[in-house]
Structure 1
């Protein structure tokens, strides 16, 4: 590359850097939000840097899909322009680039023009890495146009590869809901696994209820409590509850569901509707489950889905 070409590439790099810095610090109304900021925001632990928008996301994109994809694509040119100006190896290039992005993120947070987000820093660096790889694959001959075409094709291939790799990583490190396990498949505090398995039908608000897995009630007592050990797992607890129709017009009862001593659901006849009510409660490290039913309250088809990685 001769001196004139080098000056042109340098000018393009400076102008593109200024454009990116403008978007980082001043675009999207950032300056107008400074007076509403109450403190610095630092996000040190990455959570979704590997999750690029899926094909379905791009068919029905949201603003955050554009932001996530743009955080990667917008930094690809740096991976092409900088190696054109300075001979450098990938490790040195990506290390210095990542440190530079961290400095920019820090300034963004300290000036209250945004937040320090490790996810952004990693996405930006992934984009620069794609550009660097495309440049190294593309510069093979002295033919400028052929090199440009090769760089373009390489960039598309590497970006697609990154997209696929990110999808696989996302699947590997994101928990998904497992199959529903009925609560009566667990042993209660007395060691009984048959509790709730005596199925029977009833009506709530004139609607016929036909439980499929279990039915829990006070069993003729004023109050009944059921206790189960959930094994400190991450679960989603779900089921239905309600007060059945009674020929005598007795509409009384209450329900309370607690996990490790913390009440998560509580309702009584005063606030309940005369229809079945469904609940779904996410649980983190759930230990002991306690269900207390009073009066005519019925609880049925209660179960849980364990959050698991796909390899489990």
Structure 2
């Protein structure tokens, strides 16, 4: 779109200023037209373009029900020999299953980032399921963690306009930490 508008600017400037005999008035009109069209293109681009907001911990979204993540005095643990020191939050399971539910209605184009794994000192079993509006968005269990040793962290999970609620269900010994989100916004939002 920007390329097309740029070509139109070039054509209009050429037609206004350089079609016949070059005069001072035609040169001024040509430059004025180019500047005006350039400002218009910049305004249209800013209105259409959205930027990624800074990363914020997931607990900053209104929680609708379920347990809250651990955000203070978060313990360190080791996963595949690496010491993990969570900075923002820790989601884990203390009973048979833990559920964390967040209201994301009204938020546009969210992207969630999360780290997950099973600590070396615990039995290698568990599953994390993320639901969006009662449908499974992603499900990761211990078999998936074993098979994909090249799993890139943090995982990136995009959500879109129609999502109203996101639920994280953890069973077994899987832990999620530093779960954050970004939102696509215009610069004035």
Using the size of structure 2 for normalisation, the TM-score is: 0.79
Decide whether aligned partners of structure 1 residues 222 and 130 sit closer, same or farther in structure 2, where only a CA change above 3 A counts: same
The answer to whether residue 102 in structure 2 is matched with residue 225 in structure 1 is no
**1:206 positional shift:** 0.6
**1:294 positional shift:** 0.8
Residues 9, 37 of structure 2: 8 Å contact kept: no
Residues 93, 174 of structure 2: 8 Å contact kept: yes
Decide whether aligned partners of structure 1 residues 293 and 128 sit closer, same or farther in structure 2, where only a CA change above 3 A counts: closer
Query: Going by fraction, where is strand more abundant, 1 or 2?
Result: 2
The answer to whether residue 54 in structure 2 is matched with residue 179 in structure 1 is yes
The 5 A counterparts of 1:150-189 are 154=30, 158=34, 162=37, 165-189=40-64
Residue deviations 1:146-203 (CA, integer Å, cap 9, x gap): 46xx77xx48x83x764564344222211111122211223433487x5332411111
Corresponding residue for residue 294 of structure 1 = 171
Using the size of structure 1 for normalisation, the TM-score is: 0.50
Residue deviations 1:256-286 (CA, integer Å, cap 9, x gap): 1111122221111111046884211111123
The number of residue pairs the alignment matches comes to: 179
Indicate the SS of the match to 1:195: coil
RMSD: 3.0
Decide whether aligned partners of structure 1 residues 129 and 176 sit closer, same or farther in structure 2, where only a CA change above 3 A counts: closer
Residue deviations 1:36-68 (CA, integer Å, cap 9, x gap): xxxxxxxxxxxxx2x33xxxxxxxxxxxxxxxx
**Partner Cα separation in structure 1 for residue 171 and residue 46 of structure 2:** 43
The 5 A counterparts of 1:134-213 are 134-138=14-18, 141=21, 146=22, 154=30, 158=34, 162=37, 165-190=40-65, 195-198=69-72, 199-213=74-88
Decide whether aligned partners of structure 1 residues 185 and 137 sit closer, same or farther in structure 2, where only a CA change above 3 A counts: same
Residues 184, 196 of structure 1: 8 Å contact kept: no
Structure 2 stretches of 5 or more lacking a match? none
Indicate the SS of the match to 2:119: coil
Corresponding residue for residue 157 of structure 2 = 281
**Partner Cα separation in structure 2 for residue 214 and residue 276 of structure 1:** 19
Residue deviations 1:222-245 (CA, integer Å, cap 9, x gap): 211111111231211111111111
The answer to whether residue 90 in structure 2 is matched with residue 215 in structure 1 is yes
Corresponding residue for residue 120 of structure 2 = 245
Residues 242, 277 of structure 1: 8 Å contact kept: no
Residues 237, 281 of structure 1: 8 Å contact kept: yes
